Amino acid sequence: MASPAPKSPEQSERNRKYDRQLRLWGDHGQAALEGAHVCIINATALGTEILKSLVLPGIGAFTIVDGKKVTSEDIGANFFLETDSVGKSRAQVATQMLLELNSDVRGDYIDEEPDQILYNSPDFFNNFTVVVATCLAEKSLVLLSQRLWELNIPLIVCRTIGFIAYMRIQVKEHMVIETHPDNEIPDLRLDKPFETLKKHVDSVNLDALSFKDHSHVPYLIVLYKFLEKWILSKGELPNSYKEKSQLKQMIREGMRRDENDISNSEENFEEAVKAVNTCVGHTEIPENVTNILNDDQCINLTAKSSSFWIIAKAVKDFVENEGGGLLPLKGTLPDMTADTEKYITLQQIYHKQAIADAEAVWRRTLQLLRQLGKSSDSIPERDVKLFCRHALNIHVGRGTCIADEYDCKVFDASNIVQCLENPESMMIYYVILRGVEKFQTEYNSYPGEFDDQVEPDIVKLKACITKLLSEWGCGPLVKDDYVHEFCRFGGAELHSVSGFLGGLAAQEVIKFVTNQYKPVHNTFIYDAVTSNSGTFFF
């Protein structure tokens, strides 16, 4: 009954458990996740929600830093505490309860205030992959931010108050090979065909094909032929809308008609017509990739350069030599109506060229490694292949240090001033949250935290904000409504708002850990009342 060879691979328990996410970030992404160690400062509801979405997919290890004892208020908002844990170490209880979620994950805790650790053991943070802080006071935040900036360890600062959520990402430099863009443009090179592609298409004579074969030629070849004809007569690619329409018309006219069936049309030609808009254009290196290849880090390699920059330099050398000004070929083909043989032949041509390009980049990588005095196995060949396959979409992000936002000598507030001119701008929440931080530093409580202090706190919070704004060279706020709203919140942490931000923050951690997908650049604000969000750069 069951057939002999080939046999199905044995599915490991781990593969089955993580199946739904392996389809997103792959086995290599999972391996990176399992090798990561994150630190979470403060096991607030927000802190444990972030951890939950990291422990479930199987992060390697976590450490919670929190010197607080569990209160009744904590239990009301935090799922990873229990009624009988009141008075116990919050870090300890949360660690235990989070570890129940996944036996693959290691977790430990430090029952100490983050400030103490920052002062007493500054090296504590050196070996984390990412550090996440929730509910951290201004002064400690500045210290932590400076420390991690020097170490180039990503820091994610999160906070929710009432219906408002805030996340700030600090990373000095972050490189992504697999950005997973939603709409990928195929890398077809119709305008600059490589030798084997040219030879193959030249060997096809559309006019000599039988009726059946004619309608089973991949559209790519159809497009190539008509483009060739176009260039022969006009000298260059169709550029304008009008020219592209003319090319489309030419292709339509090239369609063969079935005398017996006037409604017949050739699907491959229809596809070729549709592809004119997306596939006809100059093959060139996108601007952001050019910038990366011309970056100082790429040009001036040192023994300390990361493998990303070494491969980037190898790609640059490739582009300037055998690549003839173009990136290594991606090598994948979209699906198109065709018979199997014609499609697979074409697919193989692209695939083989991509392999050849990647091999050239690999040779150049080895050469660079030799020059840098590094061993040839310090970069695996598969990393070079991955880089080449995604070279069109690589990304380098450079951030700013959070501490600078607290230093009015270096902080550029013009962005804030400009945004506040728009009454709809969510920048207002940044300003108020900064005011709340200042309030906390001065009064050691949240504005509105105590029922009998709401009214006086409105005045005090307003004063904090006015002071901040004047430090930034702005006038006071026109309206008090947001100040009122935050005093109403009284620092309340609403579980569903923290659950929302917690999931997003965990996702940002995963982006850093797997080196896939582009992180937020660099401040995210969400208003749960309107469900609107905004991203700002400081």
Partner 1 sequence: MMGSDHMHRRWSNLRKVLERSGPFCRPDFEPSTETLQFLLDNCKILVIGAGGLGCELLKDLGLMGFRQIHIIDMDTIELSNLNRQFLFRHKDIGSSKAEVAAKFINSRIPGCNVISHCCKIQDKAEDFYRQFHIVICGLDSIIARRWINGMLLSLLVYEDGELDRSSVIPMIDGGTEGFKGNVRVILPGLTACIECTLDLYPPQVTYPLCTIANTPRLPEHCIEYVKVIQWPKENPFECAIDGDDPQHINWIYEKSIERAAQFGIQGLTYRLVQGVVKNIIPAVASTNAVIAAACATEAFKLASSCSASLNNYMVLNDIDGIYTYTYEAEKKEDCVACSQVPKEIEINSPKFKLNDLIEFLCEKPDLQMKNPGLTAYINGKNKTLYMQTVASIEERTRENLTKTLVELGLRNGSEINVADITTPSAIVLKLKFVYCNSDM
Restricting to residues 457-486, which ones interact with partner 1 according to CB under 8 A?
A: 481-482, 484-485
Contact in structure between 51 and 503 (CB atoms under 8 Å): no
- Shortest reach from residue 202's CB to partner 1, in Å: 22
Asked if 76 is part of the footprint of partner 1 (rule: CB under 8 A), the reply reads: yes
Stretch that binds partner 1, among 21-29, 35-43, 297-305, 430-438 (CB under 8 A): 21-29
CA dihedral 335, 184, 382, 36 (to 10 degrees): -130
Asked if 497 is part of the footprint of partner 1 (rule: CB under 8 A), the reply reads: yes
Asked if 153 is part of the footprint of partner 1 (rule: CB under 8 A), the reply reads: no
Asked if 387 is part of the footprint of partner 1 (rule: CB under 8 A), the reply reads: no
Give dist(CA 98, CA 367) in Å, integer.
47
Give dist(CA 14, CA 30) in Å, integer.
10
Nearer to partner 1, 197 or 314 (CB): 197
Nearer to partner 1, 360 or 510 (CB): 510
Give dist(CA 270, CA 243) in Å, integer.
18
Give dist(CA 328, CA 315) in Å, integer.
7
Beta strand spans in 99-226 (E): 106-110, 130-134, 155-161, 164-170, 173-176
Give dist(CA 516, CA 24) in Å, integer.
10
Asked if 150 is part of the footprint of partner 1 (rule: CB under 8 A), the reply reads: no
- The residue within the footprint of partner 1, chosen from 38, 40, 58, 280 (CB under 8 A), is 58
Structural tokens at position 536: 């700002």
SS3 61: strand
Contact string 333-352 vs partner 1 (x = CB under 8 A) = --xxxxxx--xx--xx--x-
- The residue within the footprint of partner 1, chosen from 443, 492, 513, 515 (CB under 8 A), is 492
Contact string 31-50 vs partner 1 (x = CB under 8 A) = --------------x---x-
CA dihedral (480, 484, 485, 486) positive or negative: positive
SS3 178: strand
Asked if 519 is part of the footprint of partner 1 (rule: CB under 8 A), the reply reads: yes
- Shortest reach from residue 438's CB to partner 1, in Å: 20
Give dist(CA 288, CA 291) in Å, integer.
5
Tell me the Cα Rg of the chain: 29
Asked if 264 is part of the footprint of partner 1 (rule: CB under 8 A), the reply reads: no
| Binding to partner 1 in span 409-468, by CB under 8 A | 448, 454
Nearer to partner 1, 353 or 498 (CB): 498
The backbone torsions φ and ψ at residue 170, rounded to the nearest 5 degrees and listed phi first, read: -115, 120
- Shortest reach from residue 165's CB to partner 1, in Å: 10
Structural tokens at position 71: 């209160």
Nearer to partner 1, 4 or 373 (CB): 4
Stretch that binds partner 1, among 110-118, 323-331, 375-383, 505-513 (CB under 8 A): 505-513
Strand order from edge to edge, sheet including 130-134: 106-110, 61-65, 37-41, 130-134, 155-161, 164-170, 523-527, 532-536
Asked if 258 is part of the footprint of partner 1 (rule: CB under 8 A), the reply reads: no
Asked if 488 is part of the footprint of partner 1 (rule: CB under 8 A), the reply reads: yes
Nearer to partner 1, 263 or 531 (CB): 531
Give dist(CA 198, CA 408) in Å, integer.
61
Contact string 195-234 vs partner 1 (x = CB under 8 A) = ---------------------x------------------
- The residue within the footprint of partner 1, chosen from 20, 282, 304, 409 (CB under 8 A), is 20
- The residue within the footprint of partner 1, chosen from 114, 399, 435, 499 (CB under 8 A), is 499
DSSP bridge pairs for 258: 261
Structural tokens at position 147: 């420390």
